[in-house]
Chains A and B, each alone.
Chain A
């Protein structure tokens, strides 16, 4: 028995090693062969060695007004029309409104805004987030935490979490006022769904459409001193990235919609998040309408030769785009982190 157990363990280890051994040249290798049309352009084949990665994917189109990526804070309404999984109304859902208001007021205070605005410059030489000119500003007194409202549940998107912004800001807030912020991070869709299940006190997301639906359904409330539920306080840009050779010529496109049309026209590979995230929602709104691409798998079944629905995180999608010389829509913060880490993320 003992022998069998150790033999099995050895096998497991061996298998793991074998898998790892291949993974430096990831499984996408099969798809790596560039399409013949593109072959002419690159002069040097980038030698993919682990320590000397040259990221070929670069920003081709940015700062287009259609590509603004707005981040909003929404406090969850304790009196929301809560329903359980069967649609039956639920009345007494515990929401920490005081805590949510404290965090929002701090993020919109002078201190919070300054921290957010300056984040990333030191590390990446670029600001990752910009403050909206018409942002709501708070001067409210922030109460120290009590035993009941100490725990604040923040449901947010992976792009905010992965950029490191929260990891940078929240400890300062926690230290100062004694709260403890639990960050649940998922794509915007899942993040909002999590809040609708009564598992978050506030959300920080980036999909106007989904935010407005959230408000219309009564799940958000106006906190004292604010004028609206949706507190759109910072933004950055989505950027359209792709191989530096830019076979679709999106660099010279009139606007982002024209660029997307050119990609579709030439059937150049495009990586879609495909996970209901804010980035995915944005991307869906940029395709020429006649293609009819939506979140449904049915809608892009005819485009599978170039439209790749990855259903994974932003970073993983960027790695894929790099491997496949594909175009991709990404938030700028994640892309800068990706490049700063030589395309291996982290």
Chain B
């Protein structure tokens, strides 16, 4: 453990260009995918929670199933679809950061939808009764509902960011862990582990955890402000 910490510090201090590249790729993939998932997932989650429409229950069951999808299955699916012989071969997306982001969005969005749906389904009826009682229109009703949701939007974002940064199965399949291009922290850790470089793997793991901690501290401070 001691040597791993030393190695982690050494790695950071050395500003090893490959490490920096891995870090920036990781940041790009995690931030883009979690923010995209947020943009898609929050409106859908609010819709599922606030509205009653035919097929809603079926969609919710599907969504819960997607939450449980193993990342490696998602990765495999994308690998097959975007392979040189797959139906989407003309897009030339396999082993690119873009496809890694798309795969992660597919993995994360259901989580955000689930979290938002649970919260909104709990809050919306009481809020709606009051808003309609006051004679507010639908637009104002939704504005107030979104205002109620800010805190849980943050919670769901924290969750999805954590999933994105910890995820390895999908990004390894879809990105191919190509050095200088699609290698992220988790795939690098896996690679070092396979090579038997456990100390280096743990050092990278420590850096990953510290980064995750940092992001979480920032976000939870912001979240704390919101709840006031």
Contact = CB atoms under 8 A, between A and B. Distances in A.
Contacts of B84: 82, 93-95, 197-199
Contacts of B197: 315, 341, 344-346
Nearest to A201: B84
Interface string B168-204: 0000000011110100000000011111111110100
Nearest to A167: B179
A5 B216 contact: yes
Interface stretch (B37-45, B89-97, B106-114, B135-143): B89-97
B209 A199 contact: no
Contact of A345 (B196, B202, B206, B217): B196
Interface in B63-81: 79-80
Nearest to A2: B224
Task: Name which of B84, B205, B213 has the most chain A CB atoms within 10 A of its CB.
Answer: B84
Nearest to B225: A2
A268 to B, nearest CB: 21
B24 interface: no
Contacts of A17: 1
B220 A6 contact: yes
Interface stretch (A8-16, A100-108, A127-135, A299-307): A8-16
Contacts of A13: 209, 213
Contact of A20 (B87, B90, B95, B206): B206
B147 interface: no
B178 A182 contact: yes
B3 interface: yes
B125 interface: no
Contacts of B87: 84
A60 interface: no
Interface in A317-346: 317-320, 338, 341, 344-346
A162 B95 CA distance: 20
A317 to B, nearest CB: 7
Interface stretch (A21-29, A235-243, A286-294): A21-29
Task: Name which of B158, B181, B195, B206 has the most chain A CB atoms within 10 A of its CB.
Answer: B195
B227 A2 contact: yes
B216 A9 contact: yes
Contact of A21 (B1, B181, B205): B1
Contact of A5 (B1, B79, B83, B158): B158
A346 B85 contact: no
Interface string A173-190: 000000000111100000
Given A51-B3, A315-B196, A84 B220 contact: no
A313 B194 contact: yes
Contacts of A199: 83-84, 94-95, 176
B95 A346 contact: no
Q: Is the interface of B mostly helix, strand, loop or mixed?
A: helix
A60 B187 CA distance: 34
A13 B5 CA distance: 13
B216 A94 contact: no
A95 B89 CA distance: 11
Contacts of B86: 84-85, 197-198
B195 A316 contact: yes
Nearest to A321: B196
A313 B195 contact: yes
B95 to A, nearest CB: 6
A2 B217 CA distance: 10
A160 to B, nearest CB: 13
Nearest to B193: A316
A24 B1 CA distance: 6
Contacts of A158: 194-195
Contacts of B213: 9, 13
A183 B179 contact: yes
B196 A197 contact: no
B195 A198 contact: no
A23 B220 contact: no
B4 interface: yes
Nearest to B5: A20
Contacts of A183: 178-179
A313 B190 CA distance: 10
A237 to B, nearest CB: 20
Nearest to B200: A346
B218 to A, nearest CB: 12
B4 A90 contact: no
Interface string A74-93: 00000000111100001011
Contacts of B123: none
Given A23-B4, A345-B197, A346-B197, 6 more contacts: A2-B223, A93-B89, A183-B178, A197-B86, A316-B195, A345-B192
23 contacts: A1-B155, A1-B227, A2-B227, A23-B4, A24-B1, A50-B199, A84-B87, A90-B89, A92-B90, A184-B95, A194-B176, A197-B80, A197-B84, A198-B84, A198-B89, A312-B193, A313-B194, A316-B193, A317-B196, A319-B196, A345-B195, A345-B200, A346-B200
